[in-house]
Amino acid sequence: MTKVKLQLPDGMKKVHFDKVFTNDHCTIVFAFVSATSELWIAGKTPLTVIEGFTRVEQGL
């Protein structure tokens, strides 16, 4: 998995991770930066059908 540093909007210091789904090929993170904005972070293997996601409970 590749680590990517994302620049948050000005004035934002924290991100609340709402849901995390993962399987052998991909991780998808649904995160809220503030009450009015949403950030999705996804990584996947190209040309692969992604099935069978598992929700990961908080503890990131």
Residue 30 pLDDT level (bands cut at 50, 70, 90): confident
Please state, rounded to an integer, the average pLDDT across all residues of the chain.
Answer: 62
Give the CA angle between residues 42, 26, 14 to the nearest 5°.
40
* Sheet with strand 37-43: strands edge to edge: 37-43, 27-34, 16-22, 54-55
Which pLDDT value is given to residue 21? 76
Q: What is the mean pLDDT of residues 20-26?
A: 71
How far apart CA 52 and CA 4 sit, in angstroms, is 24
What pLDDT, on a 0 to 100 scale, did the predictor assign at position 20?
Answer: 74
The CA distance from 39 to 19, in Å, is: 11
